[in-house]
């Protein structure tokens, strides 16, 4: 994809273009004023008819700071203690599985 102004984003950031999300592999300044953006997969054409795109509106997606942090309502199903360094639950007696959601009656 070639754009005629500094796109304002870097390789690896998320890009929304023609109703699809892409991750640019590279953003290179080409012949002034053009910038050449290599996407992570081929662009199959505009969303209307699959043809070439004349009006180029690409948007940088900026997720909130905590978008990739996960908060659980009930860590380890409230039946164990989570080791925050490993992310593994240490289940209380009588409970098993990776999130302590399985009760083992034989252990009681």
DSSP category for residue 5: S
Q: pLDDT value at position 80?
A: 92
**26, pLDDT greater than 80:** yes
Tokens representing 66? 């905590």
Same domain, 7 and 56: yes
80 — phi, psi (to 5°)? Answer: 180, 180
SS3 75: helix
pLDDT in tens, 70-108: 666 678 888 999 887 777 889 999 999 888 999 987 765
Whether 86 is covered by a domain: the verdict is yes
Judge whether 16 and 58 are in contact, CB under 8 Å. Answer: yes
Q: Which residues pair with 35 in a beta bridge?
A: 3, 29
Whether 70 is covered by a domain: the verdict is no
Whether 23 is covered by a domain: the verdict is yes
Same domain, 52 and 80: no
The model carries a pTM of 0.45
Tokens representing 99? 């999130």
| Domain count within the chain | 2
- The boundaries of the domain holding residue 20 are 2-61
Same domain, 7 and 42: yes
Q: pLDDT value at position 107?
A: 63
When the pLDDT of each residue in the chain is averaged and rounded to a whole number, the result is 77
**More reliable by pLDDT, 104 or 67:** 104
Whether 67 is covered by a domain: the verdict is no
């Amino acid at each position: 994809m070639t754009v005629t102004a500094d796109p304002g984003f870097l390789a690896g950031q998320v890009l929304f273009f023609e109703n699809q999300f892409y991750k640019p592999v590279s953003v290179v300044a080409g012949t002034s004023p053009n910038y050449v953006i290599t996407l992570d997969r081929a662009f199959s054409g505009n969303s209307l008819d699959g043809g070439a795109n004349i009006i180029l509106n690409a948007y940088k997606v900026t997720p909130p700071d905590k978008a990739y942090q996960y908060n659980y309502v009930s860590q380890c199903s409230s039946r164990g203690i989570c080791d925050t360094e490993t992310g593994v639950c240490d289940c209380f007696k009588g409970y098993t599985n990776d999130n302590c959601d399985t009760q083992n009656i034989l252990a009681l």
